[in-house]
Structure 1
Amino acid sequence: MSVPLTPWRRLVPTSEDYRGLRSRWPRELIAGLTVGIVALPLALGFGVASGAGAAAGLVTAIVAGILAAVFGGSHLQVSGPTGAMTVVLLPVIAQYGLLTVPLLAIMAGVMLVVMAITGLGRVVDLIPWPVVEGFTFGIGVIVAVQQVPLALDTVKGESESTLLSTWQAITHTDWSRAVAPLGIVALVIAVQLIVQRLWPRLPASLLAIIVATAVAFAARLPVATIGQLPSGLPAPALPAMSLSLLMQLAAPALAIAALAALESLLSARVADGLVTDAPRTNADRELLGQGIANIGSGLFGGLPATGAIARTAVNVRSGGRTRVSAITHALVLVVVIVALGPVVAEVPLSALAGVLILTASRMMNFRIAGRIWRTTRADRFTFLATAATTIVLDLIVAVLLGVAMAAIMSLRHMAATSSVRREHLPVHTPTGLVDFPSHELHDTVAVYRIDGALFYADARRFIDTVCSAPDAQGVIIRAHRMHVMDASGAEALREAVRTLARRDIDVVVEGLSPQQLATAVATGAITESQHAVDLPSAIDLMCSHIEVPGRALTRSFTTQVFSYGVFTQDHVHKEVYGRRLSGHLDSLPGYRLTLIDVPDPSVGTLGVDRQPAAVPGNEDDLIAGMRYEIGESELAAIEEVNHPLFEKVWVKLASGEEAWVFVAKEPVSRGTVSR
């Protein structure tokens, strides 16, 4: 089966990416400047934490930041090194060495490009809302907790767990020295809140950092600062590789690509939810942008990159609405390295912690959490489990667990809302009221209707219910309201049919979709001859399988009871007048003429024409009379004149002759009559 490729025009940058920039460029530049200042210590820190060094972190933030902004599918996303990626990289570096990191970035980038071309970006849309919100809430907690060591000017703990590491930092804090950095944190948060309240158009984060830096410098507060920056970037080069090395790194590269895809798409989705005045993310193009960004980062000796939720949130809060802000943030890092290194070196780390703590608090949206809490118990549990797992364990584990839990809850709900029940005719259908053609069929044919799904969670109940008919000669299974049937459902259908067959009970299944019918036939559950498209056809098919007393009329006649007439012995082009049977003329096809011997000497023969009895929309022609061409074939007998469904009507032919014709006493649907 071929994989549908994403149209290239949806993946290529266009001028539409920068619509509205003419009026927005000042705010975009300011937002980019703010994000650049916030991203600087993060880039340096994640580079050091990964073991690749501060320069690798800067390269990743600059190269990946620009490429992802230009080629990506989000107008708001800011990309670069992240804590989650660092956690994934550490064991890989320990096993394969530091020199493999650029190659891993390139390999993961190629995989992301393939994901984009094959349209896998849309998979993120399948992640339930409680999972996304739980993930976001948990990330907010983690980001805030990660800032505690910076806010206290203390050394980060050695534990790989964020919570344990932070607790270790708190227990080793010199509280006499922590007063000044905590004051800077409080000052930054206060300035941001005041500026956002009184002057919402100003870049609150940047102003808060400037104020805090000025206060710390003027008062000579004993606080840790960013410090000296690297003076340059490495030249691009293709890392050393071999076939055996590529095969060894395939699995970790796939894990990195999966993390980059998941974190980037969720980050973009979170950003989309923060604003209403920016285009929505193109998921496939975002994967393409992240792939190109990782390839570029690897060529420059950088780390694998992803969309960064914290920096993206700062970008949104600072007013960024186009790609220019993300591009500007990367250029700011270049300028900082080249020209402003000494100035930025004086920025207190606790000031950056204050910015990120406030940003993280806004990611912990208690209003949305309250809305989820007022929904179902399953959604509440999914939200809490995802958030808790994000905080305690890992981002990827949290999302996978949340999706798995949501899937289990959905299956439980599907099973609870699905049913198999006995149905008693007559019933209303789109073609009218449908009933068995004789009373005896009510006692000999059992009808069951499936609602919802027939899948593994409901298979045993289906088998027990359908096989419970004690005295039936036939079973009709109505599946027109069955929306889902998996392999277990098809196997349950096969087992039920075989169980009934051992009891000499015929089975007809009605209303399967083409895909469901193909599955049922392929698994041997039924044959195509056991399937009917609707209930009347299913009844008609069942009547051909079982013996029912009193069946006297031919199917070719009774299937279209409105086409009838009495003809004299010449059998050629006689116009007849008949009684119109309302409600049974809706585009029904005609049938081949059948001559029926009528046991009444005053009546010649009763015929049904293959040609349509009336043109759709002009059914009244039946009342005015139709011209029939009669042939002589397919003779069949009527056993009794006084059939329960029909009565004799005296008609006058156009030739002046008079005769009897049999018409239905009540309107009946195709399939309600016997053969």
Structure 2
Amino acid sequence: MKFELSNLRGDITGGITAGIVALPLALALGVASGVGPMAGMYGAIAVGFFAALFGGTPSQISGPTGPMVVVLAGLFASLSGDVALIFTAVMLAGIFQIVLGFLGVGQYIRLVPYPVISGFMSGIGAIIIILQIGRLLGHEPPGGTIGALSYIPTALADINFSTLALGLGTLVIAYKWPPSLGKYVPGALAALIIGTLVSLFLPVPILGDIPTGLPSLHMPVFDQSKALLIIEAAFILAILGAIDSLLTSLVADNMTRTRHDSSRELIGQGIGNTVAGLIGGIAGAGATMRTVVNIRSGGLYRLSGMTHALVLLAVVLGLSPLAAKIPHAVLAGILVKVGLDIIDWSYLKRAHKGPRWDFILMLLVLGLTVFVDLITAVGVGVVFASLAYVRQIAQLQLVELNKIPESFGSEEENSYYKSIKEHVSIFSFGGPLSFGAAADLGHHVREKVKPKSKFLILDFTRVPNLDVSAAMAVETVTSDATAAGRRLLLCGTNPEVEGVLADFYQHHPDIPVFKTRLEAFKYAEQEIKGGTPGSQTGAVTAAT
């Protein structure tokens, strides 16, 4: 393992700053998960250290994040607070991520369309805010988004105004903390300290006793009746953590002008989450805000992420009694800011200027994220986005198909075509011919073919590849041409296209296939004039 020490001072400074920023977030996200503030700290330490040590994005800071906590909170409610099974799910998620890294899945995760990413990130932000409304009002709402929403009327009927004022004050400080002071004390940490000091004079709920010292090992446990729930939650954690981390890696790349290793990053995140589960920590991922803070504070290499984790470890070993005084309302205020920061406001502001379908897709994913679950939201979003993309490409392919050429690249081709134009219909496909266009291929050919055509030429010169659906569409075109008494000619097929059309050639050995369009024109002209087709060079059939 090679360590870059050329930026030692910057990495240490960036790591310390990121650790200070991560402290209140780790505590708050630990509480939000249901497992407790120290689980947030242990998760930040384990994922932060090992993802930096083994990961593929040197400047990235990892730890508990909103998306992961939302899943863990749902799992906590489903398992009735059985922490042993929750930590087992975290370990399993880490193993899944290691496997994804070795399989090279990271390069495909980056292909998730932006409206889908925007929708589920905004949905996660909304969930975090919804889950904190009850705590801001001085209550402990039931688990789950629906439970928290349904509990709001009850909480509004009995508001603890001290808690509400403290939480809103914390939120204001976190947002309005002067940037000049933020260089020394980050806004979230300032809000945590000030809110906690003010709470000493108010009757508000606090975290209470927090264990100190090194964490204990939590070996995986198995419960057959809940195995499916654990595996599903672990898979969701692994996928969301991978997406979250790799998106943050892209941000880090843009800031540092470097290129991350996605497979190695997933392996590092997986090792971090596996260790986090073993020591009783919650799952984590690459954290965008903490990574940006690290880079802006001078951190560029993996030593900065490891330093950030060591700062949190020092806090755990010596300052836990102070953390016990932190009020729930203060952490709720900080979490509301986290939720508001996660919502993709920049996309929402300009959504009306972009394609309407993208905005509808984003809202669909957002709604499914909040009211169903994250994996359904992402899955449905990717499927719908893929179908929309296939439809768009199919339309472009059919537009190209409908452009009946009037002239060609060489004078010789133009001369031959002019002499046979009244008796020939030619269809030149543009680009890869996919299953999206295949369904309407026969219909469009029937619409555009000339009534007096004796020959139908399918020109594949610009087609690098086609799929089986497109090959079946060629079969349909052949049947239509035969029924109408027309001869079908193929030209310009490359070896890859010919491989897909091998069965077609076997069923239609009498259909000539030409290497070039010019040879097909010559063949058609000789046929029209009553010559001997076999005398033409360049014709290839399945029989040959």
> TM-score w.r.t. structure 1 length?
0.68
Give the alignment partner of residue 314 of structure 2, picking from 318, 329, 335. Answer: 335
- Deviation track 1:345-388 (CA, whole Å, cap 9, x = no partner) reads 11222222222323332333433322332111111212222223
> Is contact 1:32–1:324 with CA below 8 Å preserved after alignment?
no
> Is contact 2:245–2:285 with CA below 8 Å preserved after alignment?
yes
Corresponding residue of 2:183: 201
Distance change in 2, residues 1:181/1:497 (3 Å):
same
DSSP-derived class of the 2:234 partner:
helix
Distance change in 2, residues 1:183/1:57 (3 Å):
closer
Matched, 1:15 2:3: yes
Return the structure number with greater relative CO, CA threshold 8 A, min gap 6: 2
- Deviation track 1:117-158 (CA, whole Å, cap 9, x = no partner) reads 2211011221112222222222222222332233223111x2
- Give the drift of 1:113: 1.8
- Deviation track 1:533-573 (CA, whole Å, cap 9, x = no partner) reads 431133345567x35347899868xx9xxxxxxxxxxxxxx
Matched, 1:83 2:69: yes
Partners of 1:352 and 1:286 in 2: CA distance: 30
Corresponding residue of 1:485: 466
Partners of 2:229 and 2:518 in 1: CA distance: 56
Partners of 1:113 and 1:506 in 2: CA distance: 57
Partners of 2:510 and 2:85 in 1: CA distance: 57
Letter in 2 for 1:37: P
Corresponding residue of 2:514: 532
Matched, 1:140 2:125: yes
Matched, 1:428 2:412: no
Give the alignment partner of residue 23 of structure 2, picking from 28, 36, 44. Answer: 36
Segments of 5+ residues of structure 1 without an aligned counterpart are 1-12, 560-675
DSSP-derived class of the 2:172 partner:
helix
- Deviation track 1:176-220 (CA, whole Å, cap 9, x = no partner) reads 532x23332333333334434444523222122222222333xx1
> Is contact 1:445–1:474 with CA below 8 Å preserved after alignment?
yes
Corresponding residue of 1:376: 355
Partners of 1:528 and 1:214 in 2: CA distance: 90
Distance change in 2, residues 1:494/1:68 (3 Å):
same
Partners of 1:315 and 1:147 in 2: CA distance: 25
Distance change in 2, residues 1:475/1:14 (3 Å):
farther
Distance change in 2, residues 1:210/1:460 (3 Å):
closer
Corresponding residue of 2:243: 265
Letter in 1 for 2:167: V
Give the alignment partner of residue 184 of structure 1, picking from 160, 166, 173. Answer: 166
Corresponding residue of 2:426: 447
Letter in 2 for 1:509: L
> Is contact 2:167–2:332 with CA below 8 Å preserved after alignment?
yes
- Deviation track 1:631-651 (CA, whole Å, cap 9, x = no partner) reads xxxxxxxxxxxxxxxxxxxxx
Give the alignment partner of residue 234 of structure 2, picking from 244, 250, 256. Answer: 256
Distance change in 2, residues 1:182/1:128 (3 Å):
same
> Is contact 1:59–1:233 with CA below 8 Å preserved after alignment?
no
Give the alignment partner of residue 476 of structure 1, picking from 448, 457, 467. Answer: 457
DSSP-derived class of the 1:225 partner:
coil
> Is contact 1:509–1:538 with CA below 8 Å preserved after alignment?
yes
Matched, 1:127 2:128: no
Partners of 1:389 and 1:184 in 2: CA distance: 32
Partners of 2:30 and 2:474 in 1: CA distance: 58
Give the alignment partner of residue 172 of structure 1, picking from 155, 160, 165. Answer: 155
Give the alignment partner of residue 231 of structure 1, picking from 196, 199, 212. Answer: 212
Letter in 1 for 2:477: A
- Deviation track 1:478-502 (CA, whole Å, cap 9, x = no partner) reads 2334466332221111222244245
Query: 1:170-569 counterparts in 2 under 5 A?
Result: 171-173=154-156, 177-178=160-161, 180-202=162-184, 203-217=186-200, 220-233=201-214, 235-236=216-217, 239=220, 249=227, 252-253=230-231, 256-269=234-247, 272-273=250-251, 276-278=254-256, 279=258, 281-300=260-279, 305-307=283-285, 312-314=288-290, 316=292, 319=296, 321-322=299-300, 323-324=302-303, 326-419=305-398, 420-421=401-402, 423=404, 425=406, 427-429=407-409, 431=410, 434-435=413-414, 437=416, 441-451=420-430, 454-467=433-446, 468-482=449-463, 485-501=466-482, 505-522=486-503, 530-540=512-522, 542=524, 546=527, 548-549=529-530
Letter in 1 for 2:292: V
Partners of 1:123 and 1:528 in 2: CA distance: 43
Distance change in 2, residues 1:127/1:229 (3 Å):
same
Partners of 2:416 and 2:219 in 1: CA distance: 80
Distance change in 2, residues 1:35/1:55 (3 Å):
closer
> Is contact 1:155–1:169 with CA below 8 Å preserved after alignment?
no
> Is contact 1:105–1:253 with CA below 8 Å preserved after alignment?
no
DSSP-derived class of the 2:23 partner:
helix
> Is contact 2:192–2:330 with CA below 8 Å preserved after alignment?
yes
- Give the drift of 1:62: 2.9
Matched, 1:109 2:94: yes
Partners of 1:147 and 1:325 in 2: CA distance: 32
Distance change in 2, residues 1:102/1:388 (3 Å):
closer
Corresponding residue of 2:136: 151
Partners of 1:379 and 1:80 in 2: CA distance: 30
> Is contact 2:71–2:237 with CA below 8 Å preserved after alignment?
yes
Instruction: Judge which range, 292-301 or 317-326, deviates more.
Output: 317-326
Corresponding residue of 2:542: none
- Give the drift of 1:523: 5.9
DSSP-derived class of the 2:205 partner:
coil
Distance change in 2, residues 1:70/1:265 (3 Å):
farther
Letter in 2 for 1:189: L
**Number of paired residues?**
526
> Is contact 1:136–1:270 with CA below 8 Å preserved after alignment?
no
> TM-score w.r.t. structure 2 length?
0.82
DSSP-derived class of the 1:73 partner:
coil
- Deviation track 1:94-133 (CA, whole Å, cap 9, x = no partner) reads 79x8655555444443332222122110112211122222
Distance change in 2, residues 1:344/1:432 (3 Å):
farther
> Is contact 1:441–1:548 with CA below 8 Å preserved after alignment?
no
Partners of 1:45 and 1:362 in 2: CA distance: 16
Partners of 1:529 and 1:260 in 2: CA distance: 53
Letter in 2 for 1:269: L
> Is contact 1:150–1:353 with CA below 8 Å preserved after alignment?
yes
More helix by share: 2
- Give the drift of 1:460: 4.4
> Is contact 1:463–1:496 with CA below 8 Å preserved after alignment?
yes
Corresponding residue of 1:7: none
Distance change in 2, residues 1:398/1:526 (3 Å):
farther
- Give the drift of 1:168: 0.6
- Give the drift of 1:39: 0.4
Letter in 2 for 1:85: V
Partners of 2:37 and 2:534 in 1: CA distance: 91
DSSP-derived class of the 1:154 partner:
coil
DSSP-derived class of the 1:384 partner:
helix
Distance change in 2, residues 1:307/1:457 (3 Å):
same
